[in-house]
A and B are shown apart, each in its own frame.
Chain A
Amino acid sequence: MGRLFVAALLLFVAGCAGGENVVPGVGGGKFAVLLGKAPMYTGQVTPGSAVDRIKKRGKLIIGGSQDAPLLSQLDPTSGELTGFDAYLGKLLAQYIIGSPQTELLSATSETREPLLANGTVDVIIQTYTITPARKERVAFAGPYYQSGQSIAVRRGTSGITKPADLAGKTVIAGANTPAIGAIKAVAPTARVVEFGSDPECLTALKQGRGEAYVQDQAILVADASKDSELQLVGEPFTEDPYGIGIKHGDAEFTKFVNDWLREIGKSGLWQDVWKQTIGTVVTGDAPSPPAIAS
């Protein structure tokens, strides 16, 4: 009995020690460097505001993905979220709370607006393209990233050199991605076939389920770097401004997040995050962050 008690005590102590050493929400040493440079909010906090709520709770609840490579992907070995969206979320938590405490709730395009409206999540950071229709139901901070849809084909495919060439063809797209609308806009007669995830879309393309695959350029570049069978066609043909989704009507918090985005854009932190994530597959210097609207 005594020995069991000691063993239990030791386990407990070991557990505590582990908890103190591991800074939660920090994946790898490189991101920790960025965290050291991250700004912290020191101004006034209105009681009862979103910032006040998040501060008191001690963590930022984010609606996002676990399966978006380079943007927000759960690393199965470390259990950490990595990617551009994920790191921005942690930096935002650092800004508000003073530590990168975040909780990710898996959101989907069906659940994003209700999750914000009923206050289940504080923000949505999930390649959330700012559109006029969505602006009526959600407040957007940002844009924090300017993305674009690109076309990929099997190596050796002829006849697809520009977006208009997709007309009449079967085109693969990720389910619930902005690609679907983008394809319809440039080639209304294209037939869109959707699959749930990027690997499924790639397999489908290679198995001939479609002639082309339209996806965010960064993801396609990452795919092509791992798979020589894949070939990108030209430059991105759309401009998708990604915004941070905030509860509709919360102008105070929107302005707060916008101010933070401007600050990390100016200090170069935004570019550092880009280099550690999307910049690992896209060649060239980090782009400048998009101008924050209003």
Chain B
Amino acid sequence: MSLVLEGFLNTVALTLLSFAGALVVGLVVAVLRIVPVPLLRGVGTAYVEVWRNIPLLAWLVLFVFGLPEVGVTMPLFWTAFTAIALYEAAFVAEALRSGVRSVASGQGEAARALGLTVQQSLRHVILPQAGRRVVQPLANIAIALTMATALAGVVGVVDMTRAAQRINLELAQPLLVFTGAGLCYLVMAAGIGFGARVLERRLA
């Protein structure tokens, strides 16, 4: 029983922390991709293309077994957190960027015509509109991230899926054990979906 709890808590913690990390990094990358400075845009584009075009499992293996070779050894949980957060940040950045882009350009121009500075027009005109449009795309990413944390089990973290595998090794009842694990993921994903709907209504 303690194994189930450990696995579930690790999955929840990994999901929450990684998503928080992905939001922070993704926001920075999105800003880099939006600002009118070619060099910064290039950096932002490079980040997105490199991170999202290599499978997460490859990143996890590279981080867990590659980093110690260059002298960086972090606990497994935090290694997995770093890899997942940096990977998902690329998707978050694109969701945020498309949200900002979806605000008609006339809105920004009108704000500037009224005499608002760039910062003011962002804060009062563009970002509030972009904000509610990115809620659902971000919820999608959060749910995908929840499922992706199962990959951390491959590199030694005892997450929900790994715990289920260990329990099954003893019970030899895979259908029962994995249905149970699946339900745990379902509850988490449904929670994220519910939270997104509430947030969307608030921002509307």
Residues of A within 8 A of B (CB): 109-114, 131, 133-134, 136-138, 175-176, 178, 180-181, 193-196, 200, 203-204, 207-209
- B50–chain A nearest beta-carbon distance, Å: 24
Q: Is the CB of B169 within 8 A of A181?
A: yes
Give 11 A-B contacts (CB < 8 Å), ordered by A residue: A110-B168, A110-B178, A114-B174, A175-B153, A175-B154, A193-B76, A193-B156, A194-B166, A204-B65, A207-B68, A209-B76
Contact B156 A203 (CB under 8 A): no
Note all chain A residues with C-beta closer than 8 A to B153. Answer: 175, 194
In the assembly, what is the distance between CA of A207 and CA of B69, in Å?
Answer: 8
Contact with A along B110-153 (1 / 0, CB 8 A): 00000000000000000000000000000000000000000001
Q: A109-B168, A114-B174, A137-B172 are in contact. List 9 more A-B contacts (CB 8 A).
A: A109-B169, A110-B168, A111-B174, A113-B173, A175-B153, A181-B170, A196-B154, A200-B65, A207-B65
| Chain A residue with Cβ nearest B166 | A180
Given contacts A114-B175, A208-B73, contact A195 B156 (CB under 8 A): yes
CB <8 Å contact, B170 and A194: no
Q: State the majority secondary structure of interface residues on B.
A: helix
- Report the Cα distance A207→B155, complex, angstroms: 13
Q: Which residues of A contact B158 (CB under 8 A)?
A: 194
Tell me the bound Cα distance from A109 to B167 in angstroms: 11
Residues of A within 8 A of B156 (CB): 193-195, 204, 209
How many residues of B are counted as interface, with CB atoms below 8 angstroms from the partner's CB atoms?
23
Indicate whether B171 reaches chain A with its CB closer than 8 angstroms: yes
Flag whether B97 is at the interface (Cβ < 8 A).
no
Lowest 7 CB-CB distances: which A-B pairs, in order?
A207-B68, A110-B174, A193-B156, A134-B172, A137-B172, A196-B154, A203-B65
B102 to chain A, nearest CB (A): 41
Chain B residues engaging chain A, CB cutoff 8 angstroms = 64-65, 68-69, 73, 76, 153-156, 158, 162, 165-166, 168-175, 178
| B165 near A175: Cβ-Cβ < 8 Å | yes
| Chain B residues, Cβ within 8 Å of A110 | 165, 168, 174, 178
Which of A113, A131, A203 is in CB contact (< 8 Å) with B174? Answer: A113
Closest to B61 in A: A200
Complex: how many Å from CA A134 to CA B174?
A: 12
B2 to chain A, nearest CB (A): 11
| Nearest CB in chain B: distance from A193 CB, A | 4
Please state if B162 and A175 are interface contacts (CB–CB under 8 Å).
yes
A131–B173 Cα distance when bound, in Å, is: 13
B155 to A: closest C-beta gap in Å: 7
The residues of A that contact B65 with a CB separation of less than 8 Å are 200, 203-204, 207
Q: Cβ of A195: which chain B residues have Cβ within 8 Å of it?
A: 154-156
Closest to A134 in B: B172
Residues of B within 8 A of A134 (CB): 172
